[in-house]
Chains A and B, each alone.
Chain A
């Protein structure tokens, strides 16, 4: 049997007749017309005849709920006649709890107030981050003194994770970067007939900065994110609370093995990245620019300078600290739900990349000043 929703206004009364099946009732146009009529100020009472109502579900209940609610608001009489007891009970249940959600008036801050709040938040964040770094260094001090609560196995796992397991992705990206550097450089150098200098360009570029930056970005996305997610999940699972109440410093137990592993591995990965970049450049040089392999190799070796190489390695070392501190910091200060782990992970990666670029700026200026 089809559903029929008939309604009409008789003087001050809105009469509604329900008959048939009201399951998944979605005649929106009719429902809107009914609601509009019920809102009329001339209506003083709403009377519903449900004597012929057969099957029903929430789609009917929601109509009745809205009608009763508007009747209460507009001080109209509402009567539901001969409805199945289930309909009446469910409707009564929906109106049984009169609890309003607590809402606080949101005060809109002025522009200056917002700038002030942002400044305060930034300074608090910097202070907190500095405190975290100091604690991590204190943990390292305790480690040197043989007093740190760190499991060797955690350190070895961290070494494995940010060491050889990262090699494939570092190799691929660095090879591609070397290849791109060589290709872009070759287009310009060709105009002067100086294609052979592609080898020097790639080697200097990779060893001085590109190897470290590419490795840093890869490791921030790979390992920094993993640190934040792992430690953040431990926060959600109350494992950090358990450590604190056991009197085990979080810095020793969770931060130290990760930071030491990354600080040790980043310079090595940077060296590997330099090599893979040079290989990528060599591939372009030999296959596209017809430079003999031996010649390319000799030019590359000649272009390696101790200073450039060490500046690159130093970058790797600093980036290791930056990535580990950002990853662990956002993990430890993660909230207590699944969503906050995602937020912590994102913040860890973004802040690590930003701080790496900032540190690169500092190192570049210092190198310029001391003439390296």
Chain B
């Protein structure tokens, strides 16, 4: 059975000013996938994510989300699409002047018709889902880095999104916290059927959660590998991808 395509990237070229970072990218992200965007440092992974979330306008090409051209859509249509998306930023990006509860309540206040009481209950549920029950009145400065990421995830999940983007979720976390976050990503994917898009270069996470992936190469500015990461390791499309997936081991060593 073929899966339904949720995000279709066609002939996408992204860059800044005259500088081209990645060119002519083509790939699909299916509904319910845990899709990994991987590659070496500086290859344009985060810029790719910024393009997918509308923070960077592509120089060329289209990003279709649920059949709608996200790049050329009117602001109101883009807002409708973004309402279906949650994003966990590398730093968590929690608003430092607001408590965790206020952070998570913000998208609910903006986009839902729930009463204050219902919003408070939803906030408590979302925090409990990420293992932060009882932390409602804490400020971001009062919790650890791992907790900030989990609180950021709770905010990303506030509106029950169909797609959740993760920017380097393991960055700055110890191995145990990183594993817990990976498990949480899989739980969300399995239990809610959410499409997950993860930008990372952490091999442990890539193999643990990735069902499909692309490997971006900064030198050729293109996709050098496309498929399941474990399959790619078994049948590497080229030496660059193999080196990356094996932490630089020579192919015939």
Contact = CB atoms under 8 A, between A and B. Distances in A.
Contacts of A241: 50, 53, 55, 89, 93
B15 interface: no
Q: Give the interface size bracket for B toward A.
A: 20 to 34
B110 A149 contact: yes
A348 B106 CA distance: 29
A156 interface: no
B93 A248 contact: no
Contacts of A52: none
Contacts of B91: 237-238
A247 B96 contact: no
A239 interface: yes
Contacts of B89: 238, 241-242
B82 A238 contact: no
Contacts of B155: 242
B93 A246 contact: no
Interface in B103-117: 106-107, 110-111
A157 B96 CA distance: 14
Contacts of A248: 106, 110
B96 A246 contact: no
A245 B54 CA distance: 7
A245 B78 CA distance: 10
Interface in B142-175: 155
A247 B75 CA distance: 9
A238 B83 contact: no
Given A244-B55, A245-B53, A248-B110, A239 B95 contact: yes
Interface string A224-257: 0000000000100111011011111000000000
B249 interface: no
Interface string B206-237: 00000000000000000000000000000000
A247 B79 contact: yes
Contacts of B95: 234, 239, 242
The residue among A154, A234, A241, A247 with the most chain B CB atoms within 10 A of its own CB is A247
Nearest to B90: A238
A137 B89 CA distance: 30
B85 interface: yes
A238 B79 contact: no
Contact of A237 (B87, B96, B106, B110): B96
A20 B78 CA distance: 72
Contacts of A237: 91, 93, 96
Given A237-B96, A238-B91, A239-B93, A245 B83 contact: no
B82 A239 contact: no
Interface residues of A, number: 14
Nearest to A244: B55
Contacts of B94: 239
Contacts of A246: 82, 106-107, 110
A272 B155 CA distance: 44
Given A237-B91, A238-B90, A238-B91, A245 B85 contact: yes
A124 to B, nearest CB: 13
Nearest to B94: A239
Contact of B110 (A157, A239, A244, A247): A247
Interface string A24-67: 00000000000000000000000000000000000000000000
Contact of B93 (A149, A154, A238, A247): A238
Nearest to A241: B55
Interface string B66-108: 0000000000001100110101011101111100000000110
Nearest to A149: B110
Contacts of B96: 234, 237, 239
Given A237-B93, A239-B95, A247-B83, 12 more contacts: A149-B110, A238-B91, A238-B93, A239-B93, A241-B89, A245-B53, A245-B82, A246-B82, A246-B106, A246-B110, A247-B111, A248-B110
Interface of B: 50, 53-55, 78-79, 82-83, 85, 87, 89-91, 93-97, 106-107, 110-111, 155
The 5 closest A-B pairs by CB, nearest first: A238-B93, A247-B79, A242-B93, A238-B89, A245-B53
21 contacts: A154-B97, A157-B97, A234-B96, A237-B91, A237-B93, A237-B96, A238-B93, A239-B95, A241-B50, A242-B89, A242-B95, A242-B155, A244-B55, A245-B53, A245-B54, A245-B82, A246-B82, A246-B106, A246-B107, A247-B79, A247-B110
